[in-house]
Homo-oligomer: A and B are copies of this chain.
Amino acid sequence: MNNLNDIAHFLESRDNFAILTHIYPDGDTLGSAYALCRALRKLNKNARVLINGTLAEKFSYLAKDMEEQNFEYETVVSVDIAAAELLGEFKDEFESRIDVCIDHHASNSISAKMIYVNSKAASNCENIYRLIKVLGVEIDPLLADCIYTGVCTDTGCFKFTNVTPDTMRIAAELMELGCRSAEINKEMFDTKSCARINIEREVLNSLKFYAENRIAVVYTTREMEERTGAKDSDMDGLAAIPRQIEGVWIGITVKEKGDNYYRVSVRTNDGHDAAWICSKFGGGGHFAAAGCSVNGELEDVISLIVSASIEEINR
């Protein structure tokens, strides 16, 4: 494990950077990558962000006013990538040649010459912010936008338990440096696609309660996805809906993935063990958020997972 000074010295001594982001790229991996890319270019380096797929329209401002650079990659940096499997389309080419890994996942298992993992950082962009300070690069408004994007998206707009006083102070400074915080917040947290609204409606229409309203279940089918036009990105966070309901201990989301094949997400409140429930079906996860896959007819799958949840409540 290296410190940020080591990492900064190493970056200063190198050039021609490929900055890797993880599959299903989110605001933190993209924000980290574009912030670092902009900082390296300010040091007159060649640097490029590599994205699995294409940059989503909602994140296009991260790349604003950046020129295309063509060069041969010499130095490879991974940002916000916890494990090699998350490299996606870059795994084969880059897995064994990562020079620097900068991450905030405690479980990080990336192999790299230099590694900086700070799991106290709510977002990896907090790490990148500190690194850029060590590099002595001035943070302009577009760079501030990049850092802010990870800071706000990985914390649910400063809502989650991972937020620290440092998170808030970094955000304060980025605002003073001219980041478009309110616009980014609106784009990330107050804008929903039509398909998202429609699939949310379907989810709410499917809502059923069990065990005196302590268990709430919703589901989605492939037919619903087709009818509403919902893509994977539109389905993000649907699993949060049933647990939000007042008085609910166990929120269950059942998603049809194939013929008689369902993915189940369990979210719990008030000390109930989601991982225990999912382990009964060969799944697992965290205490308050876990998942498993179950075969069968929809009604049977719901019935099985509700039974296991009742068992968890009673044990």
Contacts and interface: CB of A to CB of B under 8 A. Distances in A.
Interface string A189-226: 11111100100110011010000010000000000000
A1 interface: no
Nearest to A165: B172
A276 to B, nearest CB: 22
Interface string A152-163: 000011111101
Interface stretch (A60-68, A81-89, A123-131, A243-251): A243-251
A227 to B, nearest CB: 14
A238 interface: no
A175 interface: yes
B190 A246 contact: no
B245 A159 contact: no
Chain A interface size range: 35 or more
A161 B182 contact: yes
A194 B159 contact: no
Given A164-B175, A169-B169, A172-B169, A204 B197 contact: yes
Contacts of A171: 158, 168
A28 to B, nearest CB: 17
A182 B160 contact: yes
A98 B245 CA distance: 40
Given A191-B244, A201-B207, A165 B173 contact: yes
- Copies of this chain, count: 2
Contacts of A175: 163-165, 168
A176 interface: yes
A52 interface: no
A240 interface: yes
A119 to B, nearest CB: 17
20 contacts: A157-B159, A158-B158, A158-B185, A159-B186, A160-B182, A163-B182, A164-B175, A165-B172, A165-B173, A166-B172, A168-B169, A172-B172, A191-B244, A191-B245, A194-B245, A197-B244, A200-B204, A201-B204, A201-B205, A204-B204
Given A159-B189, A163-B181, A201-B207, 18 more contacts: A157-B159, A158-B171, A159-B186, A159-B190, A161-B182, A163-B175, A169-B169, A190-B240, A190-B244, A192-B244, A192-B245, A192-B246, A193-B245, A193-B246, A194-B246, A197-B204, A197-B244, A197-B245
